[in-house]
Structure 1
Amino acid sequence: MRIDVYVPLVLSLLLPAIAPQVGRRVSPALAARVLTAAAALTAAASTWALILLAATLIDRAPSVTAEASEDGRALPEPVPETIAVVAVAALAVVGFRLFHVVRARCATRRVLLRLCEGHPPDSELVVAASSTPHAFAIPGKPGRILVTSAMLGALQPAERRVLLAHERAHLTHRHSALSTAVALASAANPLLAPVRDTVTFLLERWADEVAAGSVGDRRATARALARAALVSQRARPGCALHFSEHAVTRRIAALQTAPPPDLWTIGAAVLTLGALPALGAADATGDLLRLLAQTLPGW
């Protein structure tokens, strides 16, 4: 356990390092899926590693030390006590960060659902009267597309079709689930923040590709993105087809070329990288159980 328990924490550095390259070389749909899965595995393993480190404090419990003293046994010290205490503090921070992400996402969803109140329950498109250009995909049963009147008024009919196809792609492929999963992974392990940003970008690229396929014109899709970026330049980042000017520029440039291929070998390699921290955590768990058997006879 002295080494294995740290493996998930160290391997957390590798996934953020390769995520941008995977995002550029692999199709957005495949890259987003495998990076999210790998991030979830890595975050779960690193959190479990912290739990294992914190669990080593059990040999400091008064009842355990008293029993060991009576039996004349020396208690093992798998990790320094300071590291175990730091792990406890880190777990508290992880819990707070996870709570914050869940609360923020629930609050956002409640606001969006309130904007849809009063509209027929079976209507997919909801138009909100607003001078700020916005477009959102609201998951649910049924999922809805919320678009402001300012956004619709700024776009040509062909561009509106791109907008709706883009937001519909988010609903059809359940991008909100992937976005939530990678956000939670990043909250549990801050080292995975670059992976979260990459996946967020890839989900928009994925929707762009679906929209381009739906309207049958990649250049028209790129023009719609450019128009949406122009009309929303004075709005806060994150509105209207999402993302900052730099990210939108990258998305437009990507639509000017052929879509990236589904490189399953790279996808499998990313999943393997995500599984390695889990294997390290599993090995450390076995070591801890053996130590507990020594510390607590009859356990």
Structure 2
Amino acid sequence: MKYDVYTPLLLSLLLAVVSPVIGGRMAPALAARVLTSAAVLTAAATTWSLILLATALVGDAPPVVREAREDGHPLTDPVPEVIGIAACLALAVVCRRVHRALRAQFRTRRALHRLCAGHPADTELIVAASPLPQAFAIPGRPGRILVTSAMLGALQPAERRVLLAHERAHLTHRHGLLVTAATLAATANPLLAPVRTTVTFLVERWADERAADAVGDRTATARALARAALTARRPRPACALNFTERAVTRRIAALQTSPPPRLWSAAVAVLALGALPALLAADATNDLYQLLAGVLT
């Protein structure tokens, strides 16, 4: 309990440090999945560690102390009282941050789906008459691809195929769920913000690779991405997966080289790094249970 309960916080820093390296060297599909899984496990473990630290205050409650002394039970303080109080405050902040993030996600998705209102359920592509060049995938059931007339007019026919294949990949592989999971993990544990940034970049790279496979031309895919990036200038809704949203220069450079390898050994290492905080939190839980059971029974 003394050390295990703090270790998930340290491992969060390690995961944040290695995530950009993994994102740059591993196949984006595999990297996005393992980093998201590791981030969710780590965020859950750090939140549970805060709960354990707050629960440790039970042993300092005056009735518990008095009864333990009367029964002759030994009293040990697993954590300083100030740390337990700080953990309670941190838990309140985490709950508020997660609640606000969920509300923002729901509001944004409702606004996006209102844009698609009135179209048949089997309509995947929606073209909006607008002078603003925009194109993004709208997750949901059904998922939609929203493209403005200005964006279509800025692209050549072959480049339009790339754009649609890219957005369709977001829907097919449910990239919205990965981004949402990584975002909530980083909301609960701000130390994981670099992981969220990496995952958001990776799902764009993943869609780029699927688009390149669909059209059979990596150079044409890079050219379409460059033209769309030069055309689009305004920010997009936060939970929409946009064609030109993330690190366009790096994505174009990646398309001009061969696809990165899967690196299964590195993937296993990242998953182990995510699972370790959960195991340590479980061990700390058992230690606290043993401690409180001896005092309260």
TM-score of Structure 1 vs Structure 2, range by shorter chain: over 0.9
Structure 2 residue identity aligned to 1:88: C
Give me the whole-angstrom Cα distance separating, in 1, the residues matched to 2:59 and 2:170: 50
Give me the whole-angstrom Cα distance separating, in 2, the residues matched to 1:86 and 1:190: 16
Question: Does the alignment pair 1:278 with 2:271?
Answer: no
Structure 2 residue identity aligned to 1:99: H
Superposition deviation, residue 269 in structure 1? 0.7
Give me the whole-angstrom Cα distance separating, in 2, the residues matched to 1:91 and 1:288: 18
Question: Does the alignment pair 1:242 with 2:244?
Answer: yes
Superposition deviation, residue 279 in structure 1? 1.1
Give me the whole-angstrom Cα distance separating, in 2, the residues matched to 1:155 and 1:240: 16
Structure 1 residue identity aligned to 2:262: D
Partner of 2:149: 149
Q: Deviation digits for residues 264-289 of structure 1, max 9, x if unmatched?
A: 01101110111111111011011000
- How much is the aligned-residue C-alpha RMSD, in angstroms? 1.4
Deviates more, 1:131-140 or 1:36-45: 131-140
Secondary structure (helix, strand or coil) at the match of 2:6 reads helix
Superposition deviation, residue 97 in structure 1? 1.1
Give me the whole-angstrom Cα distance separating, in 1, the residues matched to 2:144 and 2:62: 57
Q: Deviation digits for residues 74-105 of structure 1, max 9, x if unmatched?
A: 43210000000000011111111111211111
Deviates more, 1:62-71 or 1:99-108: 62-71
Q: Deviation digits for residues 104-148 of structure 1, max 9, x if unmatched?
A: 111111011000011122110011222222212112222111111
Structure 1 residue identity aligned to 2:93: V
Secondary structure (helix, strand or coil) at the match of 1:66 reads helix
Question: Does the alignment pair 1:8 with 2:8?
Answer: yes
What percent of counterpart residues are identical? 67
Give me the whole-angstrom Cα distance separating, in 2, the residues matched to 1:119 and 1:192: 39
Deviates more, 1:281-290 or 1:64-73: 64-73
Kindly indicate whether the alpha-carbon contact (under 8 Å) linking 1:151 and 1:240 is maintained by their aligned counterparts in 2: no
Structure 2 residue identity aligned to 1:50: L
Kindly indicate whether the alpha-carbon contact (under 8 Å) linking 2:167 and 2:242 is maintained by their aligned counterparts in 1: no
**What does residue range 13-52 of structure 1 map to in structure 2 within 5 Å?**
13-52=13-52
Kindly indicate whether the alpha-carbon contact (under 8 Å) linking 1:98 and 1:187 is maintained by their aligned counterparts in 2: yes
Secondary structure (helix, strand or coil) at the match of 1:122 reads coil
Secondary structure (helix, strand or coil) at the match of 1:13 reads helix
Kindly indicate whether the alpha-carbon contact (under 8 Å) linking 2:73 and 2:294 is maintained by their aligned counterparts in 1: no
Give me the whole-angstrom Cα distance separating, in 2, the residues matched to 1:69 and 1:277: 35
Deviates more, 1:95-104 or 1:129-138: 129-138
Structure 2 residue identity aligned to 1:232: A
Secondary structure (helix, strand or coil) at the match of 1:137 reads strand
Structure 2 residue identity aligned to 1:17: V
Partner of 2:90: 90
Superposition deviation, residue 72 in structure 1? 4.5
Give me the whole-angstrom Cα distance separating, in 1, the residues matched to 2:202 and 2:63: 53
Superposition deviation, residue 71 in structure 1? 2.8
**1:230–1:240 distance in 2 versus 1, CA, 3 Å:** farther
Kindly indicate whether the alpha-carbon contact (under 8 Å) linking 2:228 and 2:244 is maintained by their aligned counterparts in 1: no
Superposition deviation, residue 73 in structure 1? 3.9
Kindly indicate whether the alpha-carbon contact (under 8 Å) linking 1:115 and 1:128 is maintained by their aligned counterparts in 2: no
TM-score, with structure 1 as normaliser: 0.95
Kindly indicate whether the alpha-carbon contact (under 8 Å) linking 1:228 and 1:240 is maintained by their aligned counterparts in 2: no
Give me the whole-angstrom Cα distance separating, in 2, the residues matched to 1:205 and 1:4: 36
Give me the whole-angstrom Cα distance separating, in 1, the residues matched to 2:76 and 2:93: 28
Kindly indicate whether the alpha-carbon contact (under 8 Å) linking 1:76 and 1:295 is maintained by their aligned counterparts in 2: no
Deviates more, 1:93-102 or 1:61-70: 61-70
**Number of equivalent positions:** 294
Kindly indicate whether the alpha-carbon contact (under 8 Å) linking 1:127 and 1:149 is maintained by their aligned counterparts in 2: yes
Partner of 2:70: 70
Secondary structure (helix, strand or coil) at the match of 1:2 reads coil
Give me the whole-angstrom Cα distance separating, in 2, the residues matched to 1:149 and 1:295: 70
Q: Deviation digits for residues 228-258 of structure 1, max 9, x if unmatched?
A: 111113x1367851325xx100000000000
Give me the whole-angstrom Cα distance separating, in 2, the residues matched to 1:148 and 1:252: 23
Superposition deviation, residue 44 in structure 1? 0.6
